[in-house]
């Protein structure tokens, strides 16, 4: 195991099981390994959820020390913008839901607490990308925008792979007719990713299934990670993951996990 991967695993975080080249490292944090108090316990990396600023700063320092990289945290409006981190001014805080990078040690990073994190790279490890895919951004095309931005940095015909991290699962993500219609109107086949809910007009939505359809249509040749199984669900009781839907109402807030990918030296 790569020394960086050993450090990350020691924190109790998720290491993608995928055939990324040796020069690419990736991780998705869990609740473990931080200093935040409840309800952000313990590895909250979000600075916008009411947690103490010094606790968030300490958690981010731990994250940087473990990865050995420079994560760029985004302000994520559930849109489709994809920012080039290599062209970013020092200290800038991008407003976007996806990013790409080719510079070594520049970590494309998205934060989640039910939405789907997607990490991408090419088979040669020349460029990396990350996307935050809630249902709004997914329906609006954030993954297509992210894949296109990554492909633009690669030679024609380069093979792109993706790892899907934990998100709210298909047995916990209840949505209304408007959400189903947003997907089915663009892709009739997306109907297979919705099961009737308990009440009329309600549906159980398979977010990773929808993402896999979008990624495949965008030309991604390998998809790994979240298959919609219960172990990937952020909202399950007793989960090691933060979940906005599970915790925000009953506890007042919850933390954010980070999914990052970078080219190492």
Q: For residue 70, how far is the Cα from the chain centroid?
A: 17
The verdict on domain 3-168+221-263 having CATH code 3.60.140.10 is yes
Q: Domain boundaries in the chain?
A: 3-168+221-263
Is residue 33 left, alpha or beta, with left meaning phi > 0 and alpha meaning psi from -120 to 50?
Answer: left
Give the SS3 label for residue 250: helix
Cross-strand bridge partners of residue 225 = 164
- 75: nearest Cα among 59, 95, 91, 58: 95
In this predicted structure, the answer to whether residue 3 has a pLDDT above a threshold of 90 is: no
| pTM (whole model) above 0.85 | yes
Q: What is the pLDDT of residue 225?
A: 98
Asked whether the beta carbons of 32 and 42 are under 8 A apart, the reply is yes
147-196 pLDDT, tens digit per residue, is: 999 999 999 999 999 999 999 999 999 999 999 999 999 999 999 999 99
């Amino acid at each position: 195991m790569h020394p960086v991967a050993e450090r990350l695993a020691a924190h109790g975080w998720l290491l993608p099981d995928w055939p990324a080249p040796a020069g690419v490292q990736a991780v998705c944090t869990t609740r473990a390994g931080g200093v935040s108090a409840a309800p952000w316990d313990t590895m909250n990396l979000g600075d916008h959820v009411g947690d103490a600023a010094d606790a968030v700063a300490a958690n981010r320092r731990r994250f940087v020390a473990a990865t050995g990289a420079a994560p760029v945290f985004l302000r994520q409006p559930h849109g489709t913008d994809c920012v080039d981190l290599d062209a970013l001014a020092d200290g800038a805080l991008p407003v976007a839901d996806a990013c790409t990078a080719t510079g070594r040690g520049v970590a494309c990073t998205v934060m989640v607490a039910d939405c789907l994190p997607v990490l991408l790279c090419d088979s040669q490890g020349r460029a990396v990308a990350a996307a935050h895919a809630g249902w709004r951004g997914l329906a609006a095309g954030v993954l297509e925008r992210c894949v296109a931005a990554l492909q633009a940095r690669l030679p024609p015909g380069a093979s792109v792979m993706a790892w899907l991290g934990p998100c709210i699962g298909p047995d916990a993500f209840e949505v209304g007719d408007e959400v189903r219609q947003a997907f089915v109107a663009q892709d009739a086949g997306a109907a297979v990713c919705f099961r009737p809910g308990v009440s009329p007009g309600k549906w159980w939505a398979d977010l990773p299934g929808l993402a896999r359809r979008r990624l495949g249509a965008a030309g991604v040749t390998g998809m790994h990670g979240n298959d919609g199984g219960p172990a990937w669900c952020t909202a399950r009781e007793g989960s090691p993951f933060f979940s906005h839907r599970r915790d925000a109402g009953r506890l007042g807030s919850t933390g954010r996990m980070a999914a990052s990918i970078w080219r190492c030296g």
